[in-house]
């Protein structure tokens, strides 16, 4: 039965896609939170160089040697970038943009030169071939398992173990590096291990999604999580869910339109990010607009209450406290004035007596609280004064 | 091919002109991008050009350069807009927004690219070349468009030179003068897309970022003025572009983009090492000279202090003692001081015939030591 599962190409492709997303989310979350997401772009590109070099030396297409060897190139990129920045001749963003293209170019040229020996062409380098992952299999026990699945599964487990074991340290190092240093947690070393794992994940994912699409899996799911929650562990959950959903929906859409599967999965991560951006419960655009509108309405009612309170029992009460006067004195148009009055009446803050508007007791309290916030003893000024 | 044939070769002509145009525009516009810390925006915009190329192709139904470049310009600018939207209206930071725009736009490009390829359209050949660039595929008609874009960009830079300069270095001041800072920044950003568009055919979308960054960074090392930096960046861009493109056109099978990037990047390396004033080599030499001078001064003042403590201006200090005192060999320093006439040596006294040399300050050495100690505020004396 298990063998039938491993023979199911569609399932294997979706599984590999989801694993790429989950493994990347585990490390990407910290990159996004630390504000260094673009390092994943640099790493993704420069491992091409490492992959070609390791291939030329060992002729191993995948496996631990390939992953570790090529991952070191990713680390080399970060190291060279930081070296360049530390000389203070080049700004950080420019340094990133200088280092990885060099390694990437060298890798591409090597592929051109040894085209007959290397198993990848420049096209695969960028896009990967997740649709063919089920072709390269590995015999595990009695089953023939796709290689990509094995290595992606291994990277997911390693990343998961790292994040679980060093959860506390990573959390402190990410949000308060100075504290982590003071507690002797070696945040610098931790960060380098994180980048090494990012590079390893990039190598393991390389055959499936290539150099550039990998960036989407590292950055977009955690960023989506970041738009939805304030809790670190929830970011992992959201990110993983987005990865799984993107993998499934991306696969079917790609089959439906007959386009690149990896590309479609990456596009779907973007779609989910867009949804979170628009509809997120707290930070989404719609929520923000609604919150702003609610705030505006409250402010309008408060303005009305104060206006009525100021002129209450005054000589010009009959001229001021009518809906018409709001137009001249608060610069509200008729529709707005009517709207605010209606809403205030609904909330029992204002009553109509003939033409004139009269505050209810609740409305008067509200105005009083706005104008003299300290009088009821609730304000902090009175307490500190005594 | 003889040099003359090389010049007459149609393809080579196209490649040379294209590479020169690319170097020119990316050098000039890259200078502003790097100074405004927008290097990685160039990366995002160049990756984001891919869906535009595909959309242009779908609209035109064939490889019409004008359509492709217009599409690239549109999606490149749109990616910059998306990135700006994400940073302004959500809690995402710039780096995440850049990465999101880069990867999702590129993914969309990949999807469209495979869509086009699966339509079995005979005209689709060559779209792949936009990934890594293929200089040899440049047509004469493409050059007119690339030239036109370059001309527009250069004209804009010339027309708004003063404004761009101010916005790049001191946007607050520019705003206080009543300049439309936001529009100028938008214009500068869109112009990065213009450079990307010219580079599509030569270096491709993936490596275009480096073409924007590298000439500017190299030029920055040699110059402290925007005028000369921009000119130099253009020269470096043109030179690197020409070298890489010619190499690629002559050796069949090597992608143009990587070759151009590697040649421009080697100029960056040389500049970082050798640029006068800022180069690492000169800095290393300065550091070494400074250390040496400090060591000489230390030895000299030690001799002076010893003489002072013994109330004997001609006090003879033994070399072994000086070595021990400083914790390292002082012979080289003493020899240099001897050459400058600041110390003299005396042979060992007759009661220690096998002792080491003894050193004595000359009057000039005394003056020099006093000058050094004075400039240090006398220290503990």
Residues 19-58 of B with CB under 8 A from A: 34, 37-40, 42-43, 47
Span A312-339, average pLDDT: 79
Residue B337 lies in a domain: yes
Q: Which of B206, B210, B221 comes nearest A97 by C-beta?
A: B210
- Place B315 in a pLDDT band, splitting at 50, 70 and 90: confident
Q: What one-character DSSP code corresponds to residue B349? A: P
Residues of chain A positioned with their CB less than 8 A from the CB of B221? 89
Strand partners, B56: none
Q: Is-contact A264 A271, C-beta < 8 A?
A: no
Span A157-182, average pLDDT: 92
**For position B323, what pLDDT does the model report?**
81
**For position A61, what pLDDT does the model report?**
66
Residue B170 lies in a domain: yes
Residues of chain A positioned with their CB less than 8 A from the CB of B99? 37-38, 40-41, 215, 218-220, 223
Residue B134 lies in a domain: yes
Q: Is-contact A76 A46, C-beta < 8 A?
A: yes
B288 and B227 belong to one structural domain: no
**For position B120, what pLDDT does the model report?**
66
Span B142-151, average pLDDT: 90
Residue B216 lies in a domain: yes
Q: What domains lie within chain A, and their CATH numbers?
A: 2-280 (1.10.3470.10), 287-385 (1.10.10.10)
Q: Which of A123, A216, A283 comes nearest B128 by C-beta?
A: A123
B258 and B371 belong to one structural domain: no
Q: Which of A41, A47, A15 is nearest to A28 (CA)?
A: A41
Across the interface, do A109 and B34 touch by the CB < 8 Å criterion?
no
**For position B121, what pLDDT does the model report?**
62
Least confident of A99-103, A355-359, A376-380: A376-380
Residue B204 pLDDT more than 80? yes
CA angle B326, B327, B329 (to 5 degrees): 85
- Give B24 to chain A, closest Cα distance, Å: 19
Give B299's contacts (C-beta < 8 A, 6+ positions apart): B322, B326, B330, B333, B334, B337
Residue B380 lies in a domain: no
Residue of A30, A37, A43, A100 to mutate for B, most B C-beta atoms under 10 A:
A37
B115 and B167 belong to one structural domain: yes
Residue B304 lies in a domain: yes
Q: Which of A100, A182, A171 is nearest to B214 (CA)?
A: A100
- Give B85 to chain A, closest Cα distance, Å: 10
What is chain A's alpha carbon radius of gyration, rounded to the nearest angstrom?
Answer: 30
DSSP string, A268-298: HHHHHHHHHHHH-TTTSHHHHHHHHHHHHHH
Across the interface, do B262 and A109 touch by the CB < 8 Å criterion?
yes
The 10s digit of each residue's pLDDT in A39-63 is 999 998 898 898 888 888 887 766 7
**For position A282, what pLDDT does the model report?**
85
Across the interface, do B43 and A97 touch by the CB < 8 Å criterion?
yes
B163 and B219 belong to one structural domain: yes
Residue A247, SS3 per DSSP = helix
Q: Which of A38, A102, A212 comes nearest B261 by C-beta?
A: A102
**For position A229, what pLDDT does the model report?**
92
Strands (E), chain A: 137-140, 143-146, 350-353, 356-359
The CATH number for B369's domain is: 1.10.10.10
B37 and B176 belong to one structural domain: yes
B262 → chain A, closest CA residue: A102
B212 and B82 belong to one structural domain: yes
Q: Quote the CA–CA distance of A200 and A53 in Å, as a whole number.
A: 15
Q: Is-contact A231 A40, C-beta < 8 A?
A: no
Residue B366 lies in a domain: yes
Q: Please give the backbone phi and psi of residue A314, each rounded to the nearest 5 degrees, phi first.
A: -80, 170
Q: Please give the backbone phi and psi of residue A348, each rounded to the nearest 5 degrees, phi first.
A: 70, 30
Across the interface, do B259 and A109 touch by the CB < 8 Å criterion?
yes
CA contacts within 13 A on the Cβ side of A83: 10
Helix, strand, coil percentages (3-state) for chain A, rounded to 5, are: 75, 5, 20
pTM reported for the whole predicted model: 0.84
Domain end (from B275, B293, B318):
B275
The 10s digit of each residue's pLDDT in A8-22 is 888 889 999 999 999
Across the interface, do B103 and A257 touch by the CB < 8 Å criterion?
no
The CATH number for B133's domain is: 1.10.3470.10
Span A255-280, average pLDDT: 93
- Place A386 in a pLDDT band, splitting at 50, 70 and 90: very low
Residue B125 pLDDT more than 70? no
* Highest averaged pLDDT of the listed ranges A156-170, B113-127, B290-304: A156-170
- Place A380 in a pLDDT band, splitting at 50, 70 and 90: very low
Domain end (from B275, B301, B336):
B275
DSSP string, A118-136: -S--HHHHHH--GGGTTTS
Across the interface, do A94 and B217 touch by the CB < 8 Å criterion?
yes
Q: Model ipTM?
A: 0.86
B252 and B354 belong to one structural domain: no
Residue A353 pLDDT more than 90? no
Residues of chain A positioned with their CB less than 8 A from the CB of B107? 212-213, 216, 262-267, 270
Span A71-96, average pLDDT: 89
- Place B56 in a pLDDT band, splitting at 50, 70 and 90: very high
Number of domains comprising chain B? 2
Domain extent, residue B198, equals 3-275
Residue B381 lies in a domain: no
Print burial letters for A136-169: b (CB count within 10 Å at least 16), e (below 16).
ebeeeeeeebbbbbbbbbbbbebbeebbeeeeee
- Count of beta carbons in the 10 Å neighbourhood of residue B31: 28
Print burial letters for B35-54: b (CB count within 10 Å at least 16), e (below 16).
bbebbbbbbbbbbbbbbbbb
User: When comparing pLDDT for B313 and B355, which is higher?
Assistant: B313
Q: Quote the CA–CA distance of B205 and A194 in Å, as a whole number.
A: 29
**For position A344, what pLDDT does the model report?**
87
Q: Whole-number mean pLDDT of chain B?
A: 85
Residues of chain B positioned with their CB less than 8 A from the CB of A38? 40, 43, 95, 98-99
B85 and B139 belong to one structural domain: yes
Q: Which of A204, A62, A194, A67 is nearest to A119 (CA)?
A: A62
Residues of chain A positioned with their CB less than 8 A from the CB of B89? 277, 285, 288
- Count of beta carbons in the 10 Å neighbourhood of residue B222: 18
Span B248-267, average pLDDT: 85
**For position B352, what pLDDT does the model report?**
66
**For position B73, what pLDDT does the model report?**
92
**For position A383, what pLDDT does the model report?**
42
**What would the two tokens of residue A30 be?**
């910290």
Helix, strand, coil percentages (3-state) for chain B, rounded to 5, are: 75, 5, 20
User: When comparing pLDDT for B124 and B199, which is higher?
Assistant: B199
B255 and B304 belong to one structural domain: no
Q: Which of B37, B115, B206 comes nearest A91 by C-beta?
A: B37
B307 and B199 belong to one structural domain: no
Span B111-136, average pLDDT: 76
Q: Quote the CA–CA distance of B45 and B40 in Å, as a whole number.
A: 9
Q: Quote the CA–CA distance of B130 and B51 in Å, as a whole number.
A: 11
**For position B1, what pLDDT does the model report?**
53
B153 and B209 belong to one structural domain: yes
- Cα A373 from chain centre: 41
Residue B32, SS3 per DSSP = helix
What is chain B's alpha carbon radius of gyration, rounded to the nearest angstrom?
Answer: 31
Residue A140, SS3 per DSSP = strand
Q: Quote the CA–CA distance of B104 and B287 in Å, as a whole number.
A: 47
- Give A362 to chain B, closest Cα distance, Å: 37
The verdict on B120 touching A (C-beta cutoff 8 Å) is: no
- Place B150 in a pLDDT band, splitting at 50, 70 and 90: very high
Span A182-210, average pLDDT: 89
Residues of chain A positioned with their CB less than 8 A from the CB of B284? none
Domain end (from B217, B240, B275):
B275
B266 and B295 belong to one structural domain: no
């Amino acid at each position: 039965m298990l063998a039938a599962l491993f023979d199911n190409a569609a399932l294997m492709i979706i599984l590999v896609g989801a694993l790429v997303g989950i493994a990347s989310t585990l490390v990407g979350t910290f990159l996004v939170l630390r504000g260094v997401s673009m390092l994943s772009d640099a790493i993704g590109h420069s491992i091409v160089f490492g992959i070609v070099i390791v291939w030329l030396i060992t002729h191993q297409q995948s496996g631990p040697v390939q992953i570790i060897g090529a991952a070191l190139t990713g680390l080399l990129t970060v190291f060279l970038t930081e070296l360049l920045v530390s000389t203070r001749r080049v700004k950080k963003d420019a340094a990133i943009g200088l280092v990885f293209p060099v390694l990437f170019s060298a890798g591409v040229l090597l592929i051109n030169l040894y085209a007959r020996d290397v198993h990848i062409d420049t096209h695969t380098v960028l896009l990967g071939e997740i649709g063919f992952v089920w072709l390269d299999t590995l015999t595990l026990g009695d089953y023939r398992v796709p290689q990509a699945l094995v290595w992606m599964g291994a990277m997911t487990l390693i990343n998961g173990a790292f994040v679980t074991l060093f959860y506390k340290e990573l959390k402190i190092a990410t949000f308060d590096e100075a504290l982590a240093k003071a507690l002797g947690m070696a945040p610098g070393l931790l960060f380098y291990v994180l980048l090494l794992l990012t590079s390893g994940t990039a190598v393991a994912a390389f055959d499936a999604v290539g150099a550039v699409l990998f960036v989407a899996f590292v950055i977009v799911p955690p960023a989506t999580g970041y738009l939805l929650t304030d809790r670190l562990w929830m970011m992992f959950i959201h990110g993983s869910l987005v990865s799984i959903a993107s993998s499934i929906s991306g696969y079917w859409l790609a089959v439906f339109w007959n386009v690149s599967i990896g590309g479609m999965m990456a596009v779907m991560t973007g779609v989910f990010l867009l949804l979170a951006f628009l509809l997120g419960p707290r930070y989404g655009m719609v929520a923000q607009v609604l919150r702003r509108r609610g705030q505006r309405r409250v402010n309008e009612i408060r303005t009305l209450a104060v206006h009525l309170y100021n002129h209450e029992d005054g000589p010009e009460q009959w001229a001021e406290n009518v809906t018409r006067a709001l137009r001249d004195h608060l610069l509200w148009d008729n529709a707005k004035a009517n709207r605010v009055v209606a809403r205030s009446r609904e909330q029992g803050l204002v009553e109509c007596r003939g033409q004139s508007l009269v505050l209810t007791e609740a409305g008067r309290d509200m105005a009083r609280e706005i104008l003299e916030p300290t009088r009821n003893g609730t304000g902090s000024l009175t307490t500190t004064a005594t | 091919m003889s040099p003359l044939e090389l010049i007459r070769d149609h393809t080579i002509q196209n490649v040379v002109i294209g590479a020169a145009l690319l170097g020119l525009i990316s050098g000039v516009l890259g200078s502003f991008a790097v100074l405004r810390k927008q290097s990685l925006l160039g990366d995002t915009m160049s990756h984001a050009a891919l869906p535009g190329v595909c959309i242009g192709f779908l609209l035109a139904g064939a490889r019409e350069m004008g359509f492709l470049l217009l599409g690239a310009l549109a999606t490149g600018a749109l990616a910059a807009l998306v990135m700006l939207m994400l940073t302004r209206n959500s809690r995402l930071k710039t780096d995440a927004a850049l990465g999101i725009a880069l990867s999702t736009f590129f993914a969309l490009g990949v999807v469209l690219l495979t869509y086009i390829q699966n339509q079995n359209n005979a005209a689709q050949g060559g779209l792949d070349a936009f990934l890594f660039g293929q200089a040899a595929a440049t047509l004469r008609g493409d050059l007119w468009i690339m030239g036109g874009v370059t001309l527009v960009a250069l004209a804009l830079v010339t027309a708004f030179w003063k404004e761009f300069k101010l916005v790049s270095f001191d946007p607050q001041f520019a705003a206080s003068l009543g300049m439309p800072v936001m529009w100028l920044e938008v214009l500068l950003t869109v112009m990065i897309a213009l450079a990307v568009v010219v580079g599509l055919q030569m270096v491709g979308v993936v490596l275009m970022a480096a073409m924007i960054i590298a000439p500017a960074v190299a030029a920055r090392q040699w110059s402290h003025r925007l005028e000369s930096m921009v000119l130099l960046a253009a020269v470096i861009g043109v030179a690197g572009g020409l070298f890489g493109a010619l190499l690629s056109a002559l050796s069949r099978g090597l992608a143009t983009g990587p070759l151009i990037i590697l040649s421009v990047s080697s100029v960056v390396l040389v500049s970082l090492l050798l640029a006068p004033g800022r180069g690492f080599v000169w800095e290393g030499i300065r550091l070494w000279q400074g250390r040496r001078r400090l060591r000489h001064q230390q030895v000299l003042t030690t001799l002076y202090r010893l003489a002072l403590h013994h109330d004997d201006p001609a006090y003879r200090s033994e070399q072994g003692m000086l070595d021990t005192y400083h914790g390292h060999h002082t012979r080289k320093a003493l020899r240099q001081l001897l050459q400058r006439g600041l110390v003299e040596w005396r042979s060992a006294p007759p009661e220690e015939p096998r002792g080491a040399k003894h050193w004595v300050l000359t009057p000039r050495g005394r003056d020099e030591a006093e000058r050094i100690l004075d400039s240090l505020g006398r220290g503990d004396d």
